[in-house]
Amino acid sequence: MERQFIRIDDRERIIHGYSDEFEEYQEGDIEINADTNAGRHFVINIDGEWLTNPSLTNEHGVPLYKWSGTEIQVRTPKEIEDDTPEPPELPDPPPDPPNDLITRIEELEDEVEALQGTINTMLGVIIDE
């Protein structure tokens, strides 16, 4: 019969869960579901509902469950919120280019347009001959 284990951190938050069918016991891991035949997949019982291979963390990597010393409990929204990292600050947007640079770009665009017209005229002369 496979055995089920959880691993907790120093704040009793569950950070890992497994069945010994797939992973070896590490010192400090806590056996759960010893009195059940939970099977080869990791399962937990939350308020009478069996969850198979549940996600133990949210999208931010914050643990969703804690160990009471005798059972697995759902962490409160406040506990989860307190552990949720602040989003990183967005970098400042790049500064606007200086006006003289914008003016120079516009001048170059005009020059390119004039050169394109000259080239088209020259090509027209060659093609017409």
Q: Which one, of 21, 79, 68, 76, lies nearest residue 45 by Cα?
A: 68
Domain-by-domain residue ranges, the chain?
A: 4-83, 91-129
CA-to-CA dists, residue 104 to 56, 59, 71, 95, 110, angstroms? 58, 48, 71, 17, 10
Q: Using the Cα atoms of residue 123, residue 124, residue 127 and residue 129 in order, give the sign of their dihedral.
A: negative
Helix (H) or strand (E) holding 46: strand 43-46
81 and 88 Cβ atoms separated by less than 8 Å: no
**What does the pLDDT profile of the chain (129 residues) look like in tens digits?**
788 999 999 999 999 999 888 889 899 999 997 767 667 788 888 888 888 899 999 999 999 999 999 999 999 999 999 999 988 898 988 888 788 888 889 999 999 999 998 898 888 766 655
Is the full-model pTM beyond 0.85? no
